[in-house]
Amino acid sequence: MDFLPVFLNIQGKTVLVDGGGTVAARRVESALKAGANVIVFDPRLGEEFSPLLGHANLTHQKRLPQESDFEGIIIAYGASEEAARDKFLAQTAREKNILVNVADVFEYCDFITPSVVDRSPLVVAISSSGTAPVIARIMRARIESLIPATYGRLAEFLGGFRQAVANKISSSANRRHFWERVIDGPVGDLFLAGDQKNAEQRLISSLDTASDNGQDSKASTGEVYLVGAGPGDPDLLTFRALRLMQRADVVLYDRLVSNDILTLVRRDAERINVGKRPKNHTMDQGDISQLLADLALQGKRVLRLKGGDPFVFGRGGEEIEKLGQHNIPFQVVPGITASIGAASYAGIPLTHRDHAQSCVFITAHGKDGILDLDWETLLRPSQTVAIYMGLSNLEQLAKEFVAHGADPDVPAALVENATCASQQVVIGTVKTLYDEATKANVTGPSIIIIGDVVKLHPQLKWITPTQKDTHAMSLQAQKRL
Ligand code: SAH
């Protein structure tokens, strides 16, 4: 390590900034935020200074700094981008043992200004030790995305309990374990989900039941995270989903959850495939719910990872009902549902001012092949119909659409493996889609979209080289467009 990372207390101290451009403005801004008095030297300040100029702790000198200006200064920043000014600033500051930093001139830097993720009072500072600031900035963006926006407020909230916890748990190691459980457990989750009241209650009750060794004597029940994993592309996971995936002791998943997503689950978590069992029997829904409850009752953090959204044709409701019966804490994390993912990645807006004012999501998984659909609602004009689980009876489905009065030439699309690298889009009409899908050899999970919005696909599609796009509209349908 070439530099010593420190967080400097500069409240009430004076910082000198030489320069009037963008970099100077950033230096002034962060010094003011940290509570310093700032003197900025430059004959003409740029536009970026206008929001800062009224600040009570900022003084502007319309000239260059002189030697006498360095008296009582704690940090001198050079940001003028003029070699002679930089040199004078660095030499003068060093003679007086003032910490100096000149933007982009490494030899004039006693310290580095890090890239900062600010969740005050929580602050993360990143440095590449001057080798590659852009890497530090990219890393910053990644960390930004990992730390929930309200994490700083969580730190503030927990700060209020520090004394009480110190009074109750004497050993510092045990206190640390207690805090880890609080922050990385239900209290932290409740707070980050915006439920401060329950977070507080829960914290107080675990502190009440905590013994001096920091163990919560009642904390033997685990919890369940019912998490929507989205349609397949791992980039579509939510931050919260990722956080809980990293925390689970055991994960229950099924065939709709892609491998790319499974690799993001904590490495040493036990994995249970509830979609496939010996002899290829799928696990019964009741058994899955029971297994979730059993594992949580053993004290585990159980992740139930579901394709798309857990509450859209996902039977998530049934699973948490069971948990409720056992008083097992749980949380539900929404995911991008398959039809939304399919629509975006295939360039088919589900609604559009000129083509569709409503959109319905239906499942066409008829019991014993019988489709029990509300045709009157489905066949409304200017409406898009997005169909889940419709591939296996697409032929019958299309026939029934027509039998119930749909125009056979209405454009229709099928999106297989939506959002995945293997995504395939098949375009046709209500009449032709089944044949086209058969020709295209579609077998994977597919969303069917019926409605005029499908016409927009040729203009709005965005496909990667690995994705297939089958344009197979009947001539008649093309004329209609
Ligand atoms: N809860 C899920 C839906 C589960 S039902 C969600 O919100 O998306 C299963 C059906 O979802 C499949 O039969 C298929 O119609 C659809 N589906 C799920 N993932 C899909 C994908 N990546 N591409 C296309 N359809 C998908």
Given the residues 184, 254, 407, 435, the one annotated as active site: 254
Whole-number Å distance between alpha carbons of 217 and 208? 10
In angstroms, what is the span from residue 330 Cα to ligand 1's centroid? 23
Asked if 254 is an active-site residue, the reply is: yes
Ligand 1 atom index nearest CA of 390: 15
In angstroms, what is the span from residue 267 Cα to ligand 1's centroid? Answer: 26
Give yes or no for residue 312 CB within 6 A of ligand 1. yes
Query: What pLDDT is stored for residue 76 in this prediction?
Result: 98
Tell me, in angstroms, the distance from the centre of ligand 1 to residue 252's CA.
Answer: 17
Q: Are 189 and 227 in contact (CB under 8 A)?
A: no
- Tokens linked to 457: 């696909």
Q: Whose CA is nearest to atom 5 of ligand 1?
A: 313
Distance CA 171, CA 168 (A): 10
Span from the CA of 461 to the centroid of ligand 1 (angstroms): 20
Q: What is residue 465's predicted lDDT score, i.e. its pLDDT?
A: 47
Distance CA(246)–CA(296), nearest Å, equals 17
Q: Is 415 in the pocket of ligand 1 (CB under 6 A)?
A: yes
Report the DSSP pairing between strands 14-18 and 73-78. Answer: parallel
Ligand 1, residue 423: give the atom nearest the CA: 23
Closest by CA to 309, choosing from 242, 227, 365, 238, is 227
**Where are the domains positioned within the chain?**
14-113, 150-209, 223-336, 339-480
User: Per residue of the chain (481 residues), what is the pLDDT tens digit?
Assistant: 889 999 999 999 999 999 999 999 999 999 999 999 999 999 999 999 999 999 999 999 999 999 999 999 999 999 999 999 999 999 999 999 999 999 989 899 999 999 889 888 899 999 988 788 788 888 888 888 878 888 889 999 999 999 999 998 888 878 887 888 898 888 998 898 888 999 999 999 888 887 665 555 445 678 899 999 999 999 999 988 998 998 888 999 988 898 899 999 988 889 999 986 555 666 788 899 999 999 999 988 999 999 999 999 988 888 889 898 998 989 999 999 999 999 999 999 999 999 999 999 999 876 666 678 889 899 999 999 999 999 999 999 999 999 999 999 999 999 999 999 999 999 999 999 999 999 999 999 999 999 999 999 988 876 554 455 554 443 334 444 4
Atom of ligand 1 nearest to the CA of 448: 15
Please indicate whether residue 387, judged by its CB atom, sits closer than 6 Å to ligand 1.
Answer: no
Query: Does residue 389 have its Cβ closer than 6 Å to ligand 1?
Result: yes
Q: Is the CB of 359 within 6 Å of ligand 1?
A: no
For ligand 1, pick from 226, 235, 256, 274 the residue to mutate: most ligand atoms within 8 Å of CB: 256
Q: Which residues contact 388 (CB under 8 A, 6 or more apart)?
A: 312, 313, 338, 339, 361, 362, 363, 364, 365, 447
Strands (E), 241-357: 250-253, 270-273, 301-306, 330-333
Report which ligand 1 atom has the smallest distance to the Cα of 336. Answer: 7
Distance between CA atoms of residues 122 and 118, nearest Å:
7
Rg of the chain over Cα atoms, rounded to whole angstroms, equals 30
pLDDT of amino acid 33? 94
Class of domain 14-113: alpha beta
Query: Which fold would CATH assign to domain 223-336?
Result: Cobalt-precorrin-4 Transmethylase; domain 1 (3.40.1010)
pLDDT at 299: 84
For residue 311, give the ligand 1 atom closest to its CA. 1
Reply yes or no on domain 339-480 having CATH 3.40.50.10860. Answer: no
| Protein residue closest via CA to atom 13 of ligand 1 | 389
Beta strands in 191-236 (DSSP E): 223-228
Instruction: Name beta bridge partners: 361.
Output: 386
Active site residue 276: yes
Q: To test the ligand 1 pocket, which listed residue (257, 259, 313) has its Cβ within 8 A of the most ligand atoms?
A: 313
